[in-house]
């Protein structure tokens, strides 16, 4: 009977519902009562069975200890300037020359070989930078639209900045400036040295405990969402690379282009001044015109003498205390007078070419011949090389012609007393004993009228 009871007990243990075990799992032992019937005799057998132990839960790894030196702030606070970090390390400040071996690339990645030395900045747009072990960068490392990976023992004698990618600073790397990462993860490996701030904006900041950061460790959470499609831009404009020579060429082209823009702006400004003078000073300009055409040699000699005597007059005023305040007034008077003479000369030349058109058209045509030559020279010089030499020659000739026009026009302005006298009045004043007029060739005419003629434009 006992054997039968044990067999029944094992069957029930196997088929025991899970719910019965859950109800009695709090007790250390489970009592099972089995009633066995054999030969008409009832026998109750009670067996004590230990519960099945549950699997112990796997403990989660403890979180890494927080770095108390990391300054965490929200993007809004950073944008408002509500922070007090900075100034601890020996920050790289000021502009350092890019060097003769500066590398600037668009739409391509750059690999610096192990042990290689770059004597300038490394700037990559739309690509990544991989710096091999022991390489030396004598400048800044800037990567926009890609990641920067620095192998062991790399030295960067400047700042390292990445935008839109990760910045991985390997073991033993030395950065003499700041390490700044935006939109990615900034990782600083073991025994790395940052002689400035370590800043991450909109990503993660991971610093090995053995790394040394002389400045602040800043992590700005959040931030604006403005993805920059550098890869698309590089596909639109193609892949190209610039070395130091290309950078110099590009810089020279920009300087020459700026010269063209400045000359065009000056041309427009003088044309605007011509409009004002023709509206508010028509009679004065007309009288200066008469003196310029009626007595050209004297106007030229008078203007040349004025340019020679001007430096002497400035020196005399400068050595006297009372004359120093008059220097700006003298210069202003010379500039205005020279401008009036230049516009008058341009009008005379334009009238010879386009006839009796509107006075502004005449002035525009004359100005185009003088200042247009200078602008043309700058345009010719834009490609550089031999064209630059030709352009500078054309520009120089235009400047010489423009200088001559200015002092001839200034002579006419002085000769007419800033347009206050007509040519007839001037000739009569120069005639012997006040009788008769003297024409531009120095011959007297028979005009004995003592009363000056009325002013005419």
Nearest residue to 186 (alpha-carbon basis) of 219, 157, 213? 219
One domain, residues 207 and 230: yes
One domain, residues 197 and 268: no
Tokens of 154: 């790399």
One domain, residues 113 and 33: no
In a domain, 58, yes or no: no
Considering only residues 13 and 58, tell me which one the structure prediction assigns the higher pLDDT.
58
Counted domains in the chain: 3
CA distance 213 to 149: 18
In a domain, 442, yes or no: no
> Residue 447 above 60 pLDDT?
no
Indicate the residue among 180, 211, 242 that finishes a domain: 242
One domain, residues 273 and 177: no
In a domain, 449, yes or no: no
One domain, residues 330 and 354: yes
One domain, residues 196 and 314: no
pTM: 0.45
One domain, residues 295 and 383: yes
One domain, residues 30 and 82: no
pLDDT tens digit string along 416-428?
998 888 888 888 8
One domain, residues 233 and 255: no
DSSP 137: E
Mean pLDDT of the chain: 76
Listed range (221-225, 362-366, 397-401, 419-423) with the worst mean pLDDT: 221-225
Structural domain harbouring 261? 251-421
DSSP string, 127-178: S-EEE-TT-EESS-EEEESS-EEE-TT-EESS-EEEESS-EEE-TT-EESS-
One domain, residues 29 and 100: no
Indicate the residue among 218, 242, 266 that finishes a domain: 242
> Residue 17 above 80 pLDDT?
no
Sign of CA dihedral 321, 325, 329, 332: positive
pLDDT tens digit string along 20-79?
444 444 444 444 454 544 445 445 544 554 555 565 665 665 555 555 567 666 555 554
Q: What pLDDT does residue 274 have?
A: 92
In a domain, 447, yes or no: no
In a domain, 191, yes or no: yes
In a domain, 60, yes or no: no
One domain, residues 228 and 197: yes
374-393: burial string, b at 16+ Cβ within 10 Å, e else: bbbbbbbbeeeeeebeebee
Angle at 443 between CA 442 and CA 448, to 5 degrees: 120
Q: What pLDDT does residue 180 have?
A: 92
> Are 164 and 183 in contact, with CB atoms under 8 Å apart?
yes
Q: What pLDDT does residue 324 have?
A: 85
pLDDT tens digit string along 124-160?
888 899 999 999 999 999 998 889 999 999 999 999 9
In a domain, 440, yes or no: no
In a domain, 57, yes or no: no
Percent of the chain with pLDDT over 90: 36
Indicate the residue among 189, 219, 242 that finishes a domain: 242
Helix runs in 16-172, H state only: 18-23, 75-80
- β-bridge pairing 437-438 and 444-445: antiparallel
One domain, residues 256 and 142: no
């Amino acid at each position: 009977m006992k054997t039968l009871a044990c067999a029944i007990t094992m069957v029930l243990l196997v088929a025991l519902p899970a719910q019965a075990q859950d109800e009695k799992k709090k007790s250390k032992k489970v009592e099972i009562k089995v009633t066995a019937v054999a030969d008409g005799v009832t026998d109750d057998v009670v067996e004590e069975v230990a519960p099945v132990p549950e699997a112990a839960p796997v403990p989660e790894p403890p979180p890494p200890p927080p770095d108390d030196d990391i300054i965490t702030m929200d993007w809004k606070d950073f944008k408002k300037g509500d922070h007090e970090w900075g100034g601890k390390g020996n920050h790289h400040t000021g502009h350092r020359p890019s060097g003769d071996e500066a590398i600037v690339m668009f739409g391509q990645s750059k690999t610096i070989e192990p042990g290689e030395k770059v004597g300038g900045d490394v700037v990559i747009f739309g690509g990544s930078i991989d710096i091999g072990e022991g390489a030396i960068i004598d400048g800044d490392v800037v990567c926009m639209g890609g990641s920067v990976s620095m192998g062991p023992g790399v030295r960067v004698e400047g700042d390292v900045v990445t935008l839109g990618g990760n910045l991985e600073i390997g073991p033993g790397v030395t950065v003499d400036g700041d390490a700044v990462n935006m939109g990615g993860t900034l990782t600083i490996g073991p025994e790395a040295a940052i002689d400035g701030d370590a800043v991450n904006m909109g990503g993660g900041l991971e610093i090995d405990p053995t790394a040394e950061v002389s400045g602040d460790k800043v992590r700005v959470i959040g931030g604006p969402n403005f993805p920059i499609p550098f890869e698309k831009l590089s596909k639109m404009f193609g892949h190209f690379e610039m070395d130091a020579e290309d950078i110099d060429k590009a810089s020279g082209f920009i300087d020459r282009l700026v010269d063209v823009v400045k000359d065009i702006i000056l041309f427009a400004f003088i044309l605007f001044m011509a409009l004002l003078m023709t509206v508010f000073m028509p009679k004065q300009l007309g009288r200066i015109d008469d003196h310029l055409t009626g007595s050209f040699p004297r106007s030229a000699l008078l203007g040349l003498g004025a340019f020679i005597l001007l430096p002497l007059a400035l020196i005399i005023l400068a050595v006297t205390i009372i004359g120093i305040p008059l220097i700006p007034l003298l210069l202003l008077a010379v500039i205005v007078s020279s401008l009036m003479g230049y516009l008058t000369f341009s009008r005379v030349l334009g009238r010879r070419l386009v006839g009796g058109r509107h006075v502004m058209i005449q002035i525009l045509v004359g100005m185009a011949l003088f200042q247009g030559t200078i602008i043309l020279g700058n345009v010719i010089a834009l490609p550089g090389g031999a064209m630059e030499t030709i352009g500078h020659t054309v520009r120089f000739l235009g400047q010489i012609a423009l200088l001559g026009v200015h002092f001839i026009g200034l002579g006419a302005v002085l000769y007419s007393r800033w347009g206050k006298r007509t040519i007839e009045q001037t000739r009569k004043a120069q005639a012997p004993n006040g009788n008769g007029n003297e024409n531009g060739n120095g011959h007297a005419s028979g005009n004995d009228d003592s009363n000056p003629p009325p002013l005419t434009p």
